[in-house]
Amino acid sequence: MEFEKNILCIGAGYVGGPTLAMIAYKCPQYKVTVVDINPERIARWNSDNLPIYEPGLDEIVKAVRGRNLFFSTDIERGIREADIIFVSVNTPTKTFGAGAGMAADLQYWEKTARQIRQYAESPKIIVEKSTLPVKTAHAMERMLQATNNHVHFEVLSNPEFLAEGTAIRDLEYPDRVLIGSRETPSGLKARQELVEIYANWVPRERIITSNLWSSELSKLVANAFLAQRISSINSITSLCEKTDADITEVARAVGTDSRIGDKFLNASVGFGGSCFKKDILNLVYICRYYGLEEVADYWEGVVKINDYQKERFVLNMLTAMFNTLAGKRICIFGFAFKANTGDTRESPAIFVCKRLLEERAELVISDPKALENAREDLQEAQGKISYVEDPYEAVAGCDAIAVLTEWDIYRQLDFKKIYGSMDKPCFIFDGRNILDHRGLFEIGFNVFPIGKPPLTHLK
């Protein structure tokens, strides 16, 4: 079959894989290829055991793989054949040199630009899918033009707003698709070409266009606002715990104001995921670069509150359990950074587990999807850790449970049976406020929610 367009994506990760699978699914007229430098990742995309867990992803990949969706390690061929190239490589926080711990590490990004420049023989539209510092498109343009083979490149910004755990729904019914371009005739033409791809399934009014810099910056700001909501509500949990106020009641009262809205007001042990912290720090770094110290400090506070919340959770456990955790067995319910994903990047569970191990607690970690990643995250941690998928088996003989991920299965457990199998006194620290606290207390647990008075049998 002749395809209308060849679309390539460089980077087969949490964003590149699902996003391009959705484009292939919605647009059978295009050939979509996803390439990666990691051959194991590509092999898994070509197998029945996909490298990432995302509800609904398996079905979509199975429907289109081999039809108009292909996964490959042949980056050179992919670039030569493509009309449009999405770049969705990782842009982690830099760990070395200037800006270490703050700025985005653009080495993978730059390598991609060099590869495109090396292999491209015909005009290409380059689409920034990765989250990048504002003005990166300019650097990309300069890199691509630093050759005399006269191939024309047009760089667009099209940040991805999907959330892990709901990626397929977010891609199929996005709140908006944002496309930024140069406002030159060739920039506007390229922008239109990308609009037409999305218009295959996204209503036109949801496809927003802007200049390049607004688009790049909007992604950082959207993540900063989302993380800020979480830190705002979490900052109030500590005050609730001091004053006998209840954070769920406060969030409800606040969130029913239509100007504020009720989403993203769930108190928790803190936010995680590969993006929020990295993108805020990136924003902070850019503000400092431009001398905007007050603005930088304001946003940095969001990350500080998140760190404080994670540490507070551990200290609350320590205080409640008579100021010693040494030798105590603690069962961790959930290691993923949120429900419905196996992703553990920046998961609060990593911090909490490491701190509990420092206190010489023994850990039994349970999670329906994230144990493989948890093992890697904690491979260098000192102490006794076991990994047990079945929560009933995991909890047997433990002194305490810490709920760190809001998986639905934890709401449905038989806690009477669990209580019977644990050491006494039994503690439960609900880092997501998802359990029936009164019911647990009545069974015999000492219950420590977030931002609510504890329910305890201890005098």
Ligand X SMILES: NC(=O)c1ccc[n+]([C@@H]2O[C@H](COP(=O)([O-])OP(=O)(O)OC[C@H]3O[C@@H](n4cnc5c(N)ncnc54)[C@H](O)[C@@H]3O)[C@@H](O)[C@H]2O)c1
Residue 162, interface with ligand X (CB under 6 A)?
Answer: yes
Interacting residues of 63 by C-beta distance below 8 A, sequence separation 6+? 25
- From the list 161, 116, 169, 105, the residue with the least C-alpha distance to 141 is 116
**Look-up of token digits 């194991």:** 40
426 part of the active site: no
Give residues with Cβ within 8 angstroms of 301, minimum separation 6.
Answer: 231
Cβ proximity to ligand X, 14 vs 415, nearer residue: 14
Q: How far is the CB of 206 from ligand X (least distance, A)?
A: 17
Helix axes 276-289, 212-243, angle to 10 degrees: 110
Q: Which stretch binds ligand X (CB under 6 A): 105-113, 179-187, 310-318, 411-419?
A: 105-113
Judged by CB under 6 A, the chain residues 5 through 34 that form the site for ligand X are: 10-16
DSSP state, residue 206: G
What are 388's two structure tokens? 């047990």
CA angle 60, 372, 88 (to 5 degrees): 50
Rounded to the nearest whole angstrom, what is the least distance from the CB of residue 385 to ligand X in the complex? 25
Per DSSP (E only), the strands in 183-273 are 207-211
Q: Which of 9, 275, 287, 398 is catalytic?
A: 275
By rule CB under 6 A, what string of x and - marks binding of each residue 75-104 to ligand X?
x------------xxxx-------------
Q: Is 275 in the site for ligand X (CB under 6 A)?
A: yes
Q: Name which of 12 and 233 has its Cβ closer to ligand X.
A: 12
The answer to whether 346 contacts ligand X (rule: CB under 6 A) is: no
d(CA 457, CA 446): 6
**Are 63 and 26 spatial neighbours (Cβ–Cβ below 8 Å)?**
no
Rounded to whole angstroms, the Cα distance separating 214 from 205 reads: 18
CA pair distance 304, 268, nearest whole angstrom: 15
User: Least Å distance between CB 41 and ligand X?
Assistant: 5
* Size of site (CB under 6 A) for ligand X: 27
Q: Which residue is nearest to ligand X (CB)?
A: 13
Nearer to ligand X, 11 or 174 (CB): 11
Q: How far is the CB of 14 from ligand X (least distance, A)?
A: 4
Two structure tokens written together for 277: 């912290």
Nearer to ligand X, 274 or 309 (CB): 274
Q: Applying CB under 6 A, which of residues 33, 68, 93, 131 lies at the interface with ligand X?
A: 131
- What is the binding site for ligand X (CB under 6 A)? 10-16, 35-38, 41, 75, 88-91, 108, 111-112, 130-131, 160, 162, 164, 274-275
The residues annotated with a catalytic role in the active site are: 275
